[in-house]
Structure 1
Amino acid sequence: MTGDHTPVPTRWVGPLRITGTVETLQEVPLATFESPLWPSVGRGARLSRLVDDGIRVTIVDERMTRSTLFVADDAATAVAAARAITARTDQLAEIVAAGSRHARLIDIDTEVVGNLLFVRFALTTGDASGHNMVTLAAESLMERVLAWHPELRYGSISGNYCSDKKATAVNGILGRGRRAVAEILVPEALVAEQLRSSADRIVELNTRKNLVGSVVAGALRSANAHYANMLLAFYLATGQDAANIVEGSQGISYAERRGAGDLYFSCTLPHLIVGTVGNGKDQPVVEAALQRLGCRDEREPGENARRLAALIAATVLCGELSLLAAQTNPGELMRSHLLLERTGATGTGATGEGEATR
């Protein structure tokens, strides 16, 4: 860094007990100026250690995309080219594999608007988030397509159908980044003891606030309270491209009452764009964090990034459930903020063992 700068305060919270795609008991780093976030996530982390199976995380899919834009004279020409391009997916996949050790083409989607042809390439990118990897691959693919189809002209290397760092529907539908689902089953007694609430109250609030409230607000494939808080804090601590919280925070919280009063709670994050190698990961503080998270171990390509995505999804669930529980009790949210911000969230609360809530 050059010039004056203010470091972002960072605390390690937890540990979180995680099962599923990753089996671990792991503390996580959160870099934030919003100090109540630490004990809030800490409360969820403590809960994860008290329930059977902890927080179960499933990584459903992983891919990075880049959409190229071609220009034709008319729609008929664009449609014919789109069909020809998708029919040669195997040949295009060979081009990608020949130019990269890790990038692999797995899917092609096309859209025609007037005389414009959008071609969305989806690739796996190993442990990298893959922004530059897919752009480099797209350049080679675009060059080959233009050689095959002289009736097309170059429009742009990125046509926004990707869609990168924008709140869109396409990423949730077709996938971009790691698609993760984090879920927990909390017995009735622990809901009362640890969350000071009940399954019925949390389910009702989630429906009224996250689901109905988000529809009223016009949210786009998103129904949650504050995924962005946990994502940004985790992204900054681990050298991620922080602008990706724009699409990363488009997720859905879901809750059900089970049995006599147990709480099933889940957070679905359709597009977590994260990596353990690449730009930003060479900073000493980032390297140290990734090592402590177990994301620098010798594993098959992609497994470290998969582990990181699972840790992030579980962290999001911890903070989301804690906040919703607090909001079921009138006045609790503001009291907690005032208490924690005046005391600086220091002591045991900052590491997740205090009783304060977000």
Structure 2
Amino acid sequence: MAKIPRTKSNDHSAQMSQTRRDFIEAQTGVALTHTGHYSVPEETLEGNIENFTGVAQIPVGFAGPMNINGEHANGEFYVPMATTEGTLVASYSRGMRLTREAGGVTTTVIDDAMQRAPMFAFKDAREALAFGSWVKQHFSSIKAACNATTSVGRLRDIEQHAVSKLRWLRFNFTCGDAAGQNMVSKATKAGCEWIMANYPAPIDHFVLAANLDTDKKHSHLNSLHTRGKRVVAEVTLPRQLVTDIMHCTPEALYKQRQYSNMGAMMAGSVSNGAHFANGITALFIACGQDVANVAESSAGFTFAEITPQGDYYFSVTIPSLIVATYGGGTGLATQNECLNVLGCSGKGSVNKFAEIVAATVLCGDLSLGSAVVSDEWVSSHERLGRNR
């Protein structure tokens, strides 16, 4: 088959995107009429995509307003959600109304770490153990080598995990406003090069990554130890408000929560929540995040109580929320507009964005859970979610 047209100079241009659309049409007989209509300046896409040919247009709706009482996000926000699933924006807006009238969602970022986990192999377990002790003794030098590669990334600590004669070093970094996967890869490589140059005994084998960081896939290690931001969103809902807006009682919601916990346990699910991935994916697409990170970010925990006053306390914890307000797709035209709507495009805004994502997830889980309990789940999708 013919190769897709490319040029080493000025490949991100209107001319080259048109050339590729013409090529695809000639090869397949399908005209890319809508794909070729966009407002994004082609030259801004270098570093974001290869073989640029056009744009996949996804509808964006705004949910809200949502009230947040966070350490970083405070006030009311209109939340951009890119989705093709009818009912989704309406459902999140309903949850946002409920929490807003209850006084808002309280949000807290409780941990921050991005990893790369190189693996070192030795002749036997004792040599691997000795290596681990040496790494602890020389942490400051390894840290200096890592930090020299980046102006914002900082090595926080190195966890160690051993099996047989193998030892993984889980390098934990803070990364400023970037998600940081590429940043920590470069920094960890520099740290490992220092180790290889200075360790006084033989190392049989070294590899920069051997799946312990579980990049773009779920792991219980990341749920326990954090990958990205670990964020909690919580709210206490007055009994009458739940009854008036959600058409069910706190007791009914709490009973359903216990059933859902058991169902998640039986299924071996990575989350006991209702649909973390819906809100996270919609926000990620709208705001220029790496959508593949939904694999880690959508794994989480919900917790509920009925208070002595008969109100409903509800929280979500997202242990591996990987977000950025700098780098990647965050600077692209439409994505940057959506971040600007949230006030999250400037320096030092990544934790604010993380809190907005967590609060959005909470509102969506409350709304869906209430719809199931009040028997409005199917009827709402019939009314809003069918493309007739």
TM-score by length of 1: 0.90
Residue 117 (structure 1) aligned with residue 167 (structure 2): yes
Q: Deviations over 1:35-75 (max 9, x none)?
A: 211001000111122112x0000110111011011121111
Amino acid at match of 2:228: G
Deviation at 1:141, TM superposition (A): 0.9
- 1:154-233 equivalent positions in 2, closer than 5 A: 154-209=205-260, 211-220=261-270, 222-233=271-282
Structure 2 distance, partners of 1:19, 1:154, is 50
Structure 1 distance, partners of 2:136, 2:247, is 54
- 1:8-19 equivalent positions in 2, closer than 5 A: 8-19=58-69
Match of 1:337 in 2: 381
Aligned residues of 2:114 and 2:184 also touching (Cα < 8 A): yes
Residue 312 (structure 1) aligned with residue 357 (structure 2): yes
Of 65, 73, 76, 1:25 maps to 76
Match of 1:351 in 2: none
Match of 1:354 in 2: none
Aligned residues of 1:146 and 1:154 also touching (Cα < 8 A): no
Structure 2 distance, partners of 1:244, 1:95, is 28
Structure 1 distance, partners of 2:254, 2:215, is 33
Structure 2 distance, partners of 1:314, 1:228, is 13
Amino acid at match of 1:196: H
- 1:245-264 equivalent positions in 2, closer than 5 A: 245-264=294-313
Which structure's CA Rg is the greater one?
2
Structure 1 distance, partners of 2:65, 2:139, is 44
Structure 2 distance, partners of 1:340, 1:156, is 51
Match of 1:350 in 2: none
Deviation at 1:252, TM superposition (A): 0.8
Match of 1:289 in 2: 338
Aligned residues of 1:198 and 1:261 also touching (Cα < 8 A): no
> 2:91 is paired with a residue of what secondary structure?
helix
Match of 1:98 in 2: 148
Of 108, 117, 125, 1:75 maps to 125
Aligned residues of 2:246 and 2:374 also touching (Cα < 8 A): no
Residue 129 (structure 1) aligned with residue 179 (structure 2): yes
Which segments of 5 or more consecutive residues in structure 2 lack a partner in the other structure? 1-16, 22-31, 36-55
Deviation at 1:34, TM superposition (A): 0.7
Q: Percent identity?
A: 34
Q: Deviations over 1:138-185 (max 9, x none)?
A: 110111111122511443211111121112111112211000000011
Deviation >3 Å, runs of 4+: 1-6
Structure 2 distance, partners of 1:315, 1:41, is 7
Q: Deviations over 1:52-105 (max 9, x none)?
A: 2x0000110111011011121111111110121122222222222222110101
TM-score by length of 2: 0.84
Amino acid at match of 1:309: A
Number of equivalences: 336
Of 86, 96, 99, 1:35 maps to 86
Structure 1 distance, partners of 2:383, 2:204, is 61
Structure 2 distance, partners of 1:115, 1:260, is 56
Deviation at 1:314, TM superposition (A): 0.4
> 1:99 is paired with a residue of what secondary structure?
coil
Amino acid at match of 1:82: G
Structure 1 distance, partners of 2:209, 2:372, is 42
Amino acid at match of 2:381: H
Amino acid at match of 1:337: H
Structure 1 distance, partners of 2:207, 2:329, is 26
Structure 1 distance, partners of 2:308, 2:334, is 45
Aligned residues of 1:110 and 1:119 also touching (Cα < 8 A): yes
Amino acid at match of 1:29: P
Deviation at 1:292, TM superposition (A): 1.5
* Relative contact order, higher structure (CA 8 A, sep 6+): 1
> 2:323 is paired with a residue of what secondary structure?
coil
Amino acid at match of 2:134: A
Aligned residues of 1:146 and 1:153 also touching (Cα < 8 A): no
Structure 2 distance, partners of 1:313, 1:132, is 24
Q: Deviations over 1:214-234 (max 9, x none)?
A: 1100124x2111101111111
Q: Deviations over 1:311-335 (max 9, x none)?
A: 00000001000000011123x2111
Structure 2 distance, partners of 1:276, 1:243, is 16
Deviation at 1:343, TM superposition (A): 7.0
Deviation at 1:23, TM superposition (A): 1.2
Amino acid at match of 1:162: D
